[in-house]
Structure 1
Amino acid sequence: MRLRALLDTDALGLRLLGGEDELDRAVRGVMTTDLRDPSRYLAGGELVLTGLAWRRDAADSEPFVRILANAGVAALAAGEAELGAVPDDIVEACARHRLPLFAVNESVAFATITEHVVRQVSGERAGDLAAVVDRHRRLMTSGPTGGGPDVVLDLLGSDLDLRAWVLSPAGRAVAGSSAGGATLPRPVRARLAAEHLAATRTGRRGPHRAVVDGVTYSLFPIRTRAALTSVEARARGAAGARDVRETVLSDWMLAVEADAGDWPEERLDLLQGVTQLIAVERDRRDAARTVRRRLAQEVLELVQTGAAPAEIAARLRVAAPVLLPGLGAAPHWQVVVARVEWENAGIEGGPVAQSLLEEILVDPSPGSPADASGGGSLPAGPEPSDRIAVAHTGDEAVALVPLPAVSAEHDGSETGLLADSLLEAVRAPLSAGLDGDGRLTLGVSASVHSAEGLRGALEEARHARRVAAARPGRVCAAGHQELASHVLLLPFVPDDVRRAFTARLLDPLREYDKRHRAELIPTLEAFLDCDGSWTRCAARLHLHVNTLRYRVGRIEQLTSRDLSRLEDKLDFFLALRMS
């Protein structure tokens, strides 16, 4: 904006005292000060507001004005509340240094002037930045040289002082401004995602306003091509327009730390341009997942049709470098099954569940993003989404998740994804998007180390999902740990699930026996036959009781079970009988 525009705004109460020939100077910012030397805080182009508290006598005016002129400020505006009329010595000093001078009526607060200048300057910067965004969008649509959404979010931070993040429906941070170390804790992201999903379900237009921990955010939907087509069709009342429920669980959003309610149209248009740019990036990433989806679909079809393990293993060898680049060894695998269901709606759930499961598995832990330790960890790749391969069949999505092979010295503790971790990470935000008529159920298998185990892992994950579906709640998950012996006795449990349960419980012991000739399996059988009696079991095996205690302790360590518990004894008993 120009200085001349300030005089044309009656509400600012400015009166020109000198510098009429300099009114075409550009104003790039505003600063309020009563320091005798404010030079360290000046960058040039500012309108400086002062209450004249720095002035003790006429001799102070010359050095103060000289400092402002040398710093390249646009103009000085002096308040009349403290001294009444602006002293002549200040007028004369400004004239010598060709610095425009305004008087500010005592009835006008400096905050009013500051707000007006910031709003106008931001609007002009938004126009300049809009051109940058448009150029960036053209680069991204014409080739891989655009730099991704982080570049534009950094521009929002540097040019408009807006902190912004791109979030997934589950609250994952897809991208964010690097200005000032701007990070959002997971609980805040989850609440913002929930607010956005709930608002989207009502059909209200964005941006949506949300207040979390006293901070106001504006939430802008990021529409992919399919979602935009659906919105436009509904706006025209077109027959066959897509239901909002088809995209509510897959669309990203842009969260801006500001209240957009009083923004000028220019800034709103800019943010809409940013969302369109990010939508282009989203479409690009979805296209990049095509190969992984196809590999997962091929493996799933082989497993479901009962193909020979050698054929499945060959397909896995092809898939492993794509799904887990840089691993350098044959991984173990885990299967996750998801199902999204809507009441009274003819919506195909498979594609919805596929897109959602891909988003969930990029950041599966409620702890640190994408690299959680312990029972929620996945191996890191060049890009977290590079390891996600999800197929869909009917209303069900199936994820094939590669895991690093455990070492020979692995102690038997749980590895890979845990159902509880997945549930904790996504339940709060996704429940808001499903509220009223939708459900998401997840089932997680144990890890398997060969093609022979994949069919059992798939059936295990599917059965775990059925266990989750029997529970109340909009978002439910169950893992293989919950398919205990009392469940396996039910007549409808598939044989593959029983075999997977047996292998998971006994294979660590068999492998240990093979490596160390430790006879843990015979020890376990004898211990159960003796009803857990240390003396009788030691006598039967011709062992010292301390040796028996060591072996039993090793069994418990390798299987994460406790042989003093009746439930674990029963699990071992049935596993041995079914093996």
Structure 2
Amino acid sequence: MRLRALLDTDALGLRLLGGQDELDRTVRGVMTTDLRDPSRYLSGGELVLTGLAWRRGPADSEPFVRLLAGAGVTALAAGEAELGPVPDDLVAACAQHRLPLFAVNESVAFATITEHVVRQVSGERAGDLAAVVDRHRRMMTSGPAGGGPDVVLDLLGSDLDLRAWVLSPAGRLIAGSRLAETELPAHVCTTLAGEHLAAVRTGRRGPHRVTVGPATYSLFPVRGGGRGTAAGARDVRETVLSEWLLAVEADAGDWPEERLDLLEGVTQLIAVERERRDAARTVRRRLAQEVLELVQTGAAPAEIAARLRVAAPVLLPGLGAAPHWQVVVARVEWDEVKGGPAGFPAESAAGGRRAEGPAGAPAGALAGGPVAQALLEEILVDPLSSGPEPSDRIAVAHTGDEAVALVPLPAVSSEHDGSETGLLADAILAAVREPLSAGLDGDGRLTLGVSAAVHSAEGLRGALEEARHARRVAAARPGRVCAAGHQELASHVLLLPFVPDDVRRAFTARLLDPLREYDRRHRAELIPTLEAFLDCDGSWTRCAARLHLHVNTLRYRVGRIEQLTGRDLSRLEDKLDFFLALRMS
């Protein structure tokens, strides 16, 4: 163990008097002595505890410290119970010989410190803890419920003084030991996840050591046998974006084999819990798959609505009535690299752009659907949330190389002001772009498309096609991680002949449905007013005359249109969008 860990353990009552820059020294044993020359009993690496009975005067301190330093002692701890505060001459002697010095509070017995150090550095104790970990693994494998990663992380904290956390591949905090009094800052989580993914992609053997600020972390992959994460997977790219990682605040570079084996056992235990949670998602995934198949095959809206009502208690626990919906489509694709290492496909002739097989699937490429499914389940979770529960509320289906999420939204009032609600494409990826870019390295891409919110099952097919088209817009951009939303499907794009009719209908509904609903409720004639205003090229006086209205009344109606739709009728682009929507309706 390191001196820093001793200092951070409040129960030991240690106060640092000198050697701030030496706290990363390793402690391999402990010795209590009041001999004037204990060097014959020292082998190096010890924490020496002394009650200062050897000191008869200031001149005794320097020879004593010189002998300890020459024997390779890691640090000296002087008790204050018998003789009071540690004398200045001892502090000066330790500074001269660069030997860290601690004062031991009079309320703490040397036996307490000795027991603590021996427990931490004992290989036999590590073996005992490994046995405990193994028992927990058997319990979690055979029992109906396990304690989760927190239990084993607490074991690491209580028995080895190791602060540890479990992170998702996108850098979300899943679990942490109670020894870690504060959670890892978000930027540290994303940095660690990115460094881990980059190391895995290069094939470096773990644990991977990373320094962030003043702290050093050792990163261990959490590998399991479920959903494409088996050790015999064909390609690391099939697993790198879906594996959790264990981050330990320590430098494992000089750890003995016993401790490395222990941490390997811990990762296997966490993998059991990961597989348990994946199994718990099976029902949600199957229900989401059924809804997706109904939408894709053109089933009647009533049939889709009936299926959603049946699935709601599982897909949407606690939300009650059917909400509004958004559709998010994700795709993970890999470039083909000519002459690459074994297990990597060869580069296509089109500068890395891949030929596609049936249904848009790249010929001979890795199966991207399950990877995209796992990744979409993760990135749709609020990045500020921690623990497993938020991710367990996300239901995602996949078909071919594509993953599709049906995202429930709280129903908004018909009187809403037209401001954007629901998921925004850029916001989804803001917190995960850095680590995922590292995991995709130089040959992978993640593209996302986000639809507008729809208010019923009837609009789901259009929303799905809209999200797919938005994903194609994102795919046309440079970068390893890209997203596009329905807002970016501008008028000139919708005029292109390859755009599906469902996307056109979704565009029209998004602009005009708020106005139609308002007219139905208030008989306000906003749609006829909009048509007349556009026909009059935005002229207030001509339009007011045509509608036999006062100009102030016309201004009120146009203001209400802008408020409900979030558009500005003084802008040419928004006028054009309304013109096209009215013509396509």
- Partner residue in 2 for 1:352: 371
- Partner residue in 1 for 2:121: 123
Contact residue 324 and residue 386 of structure 1 kept, 8 A: no
Q: Does 1:383 align with 2:428?
A: no
- Partner residue in 2 for 1:332: 324
The answer to which of 202-211 and 385-394 deviates more is 385-394
Report the Cα distance in structure 2 between the residues aligned to 1:48 and 1:550, rounded to whole angstroms: 87
- Partner residue in 2 for 1:361: 380
Structure 1: gaps (5+ residues): 2-27, 35-45, 53-73, 87-101, 234-240, 371-380
- Partner residue in 1 for 2:214: 214
Q: Does 1:192 align with 2:192?
A: yes
Deviation at 1:482, TM superposition (A): 0.6
C-alpha offsets along residues 134-169 of structure 1, whole Å, 9 cap, x if unaligned? 222222112244221112223323333322211111
Deviation at 1:415, TM superposition (A): 1.6
Change (3 A) 1:31 1:318: same
Contact residue 30 and residue 49 of structure 1 kept, 8 A: no
Contact residue 31 and residue 47 of structure 1 kept, 8 A: no
Change (3 A) 1:533 1:229: closer
Structure 2: gaps (5+ residues): 2-10, 18-29, 37-47, 78-99, 101-112, 337-344, 346-364
If the length of structure 1 is used for normalisation, what is the TM-score? 0.78
Contact residue 165 and residue 247 of structure 2 kept, 8 A: yes
Report the Cα distance in structure 2 between the residues aligned to 1:512 and 1:402, rounded to whole angstroms: 23
The answer to which of 113-122 and 309-318 deviates more is 113-122
Change (3 A) 1:142 1:84: farther
Q: Structure 2 matches for 1:263-342, cutoff 5 A?
A: 263-342=255-334
C-alpha offsets along residues 183-220 of structure 1, whole Å, 9 cap, x if unaligned? 12222211111100100011111110112233211111
The answer to which of 278-287 and 510-519 deviates more is 510-519
The answer to which of 383-392 and 166-175 deviates more is 383-392
- Partner residue in 1 for 2:448: 442
C-alpha offsets along residues 444-490 of structure 1, whole Å, 9 cap, x if unaligned? 11111111101101100110011011111111111111111111001
Deviation at 1:266, TM superposition (A): 2.6
Q: Structure 2 matches for 1:437-516, cutoff 5 A?
A: 437-516=443-522
- Partner residue in 2 for 1:530: 536
- Partner residue in 1 for 2:159: 159
Report the Cα distance in structure 1 between the residues aligned to 2:584 and 2:158, rounded to whole angstroms: 65
Deviation at 1:519, TM superposition (A): 1.7
* Aligned partner (choices 245, 248, 251) of residue 240 of structure 2: 248
Report the Cα distance in structure 2 between the residues aligned to 1:502 and 1:106, rounded to whole angstroms: 81
Deviation at 1:47, TM superposition (A): 6.5
Change (3 A) 1:227 1:300: closer
Q: Which amino acid aligns with 2:385?
A: P
Change (3 A) 1:443 1:227: closer
Change (3 A) 1:226 1:539: same
Q: Which amino acid aligns with 2:389?
A: E
Change (3 A) 1:409 1:178: farther
Q: Does 1:422 align with 2:428?
A: yes
Contact residue 120 and residue 161 of structure 2 kept, 8 A: no
Q: Which amino acid aligns with 1:300?
A: L
Match of 2:220, SS state, is strand
Aligned-residue Cα RMSD (Å) equals: 3.3
Change (3 A) 1:533 1:135: same
If the length of structure 2 is used for normalisation, what is the TM-score? 0.77
Q: Which amino acid aligns with 1:473?
A: G
Change (3 A) 1:542 1:157: farther
C-alpha offsets along residues 379-418 of structure 1, whole Å, 9 cap, x if unaligned? xx99212321111111111111122211333222212111
Match of 2:319, SS state, is coil
Report the Cα distance in structure 2 between the residues aligned to 1:434 and 1:222, rounded to whole angstroms: 18
The answer to which of 556-565 and 222-231 deviates more is 222-231
C-alpha offsets along residues 312-340 of structure 1, whole Å, 9 cap, x if unaligned? 11111112211110111111111111111
- Partner residue in 1 for 2:547: 541
Change (3 A) 1:51 1:444: farther
Match of 2:408, SS state, is strand
Change (3 A) 1:228 1:532: closer
Q: Between the two proteins, what is the percent identity of the paired residues?
A: 79
User: How many residues get paired?
Assistant: 489
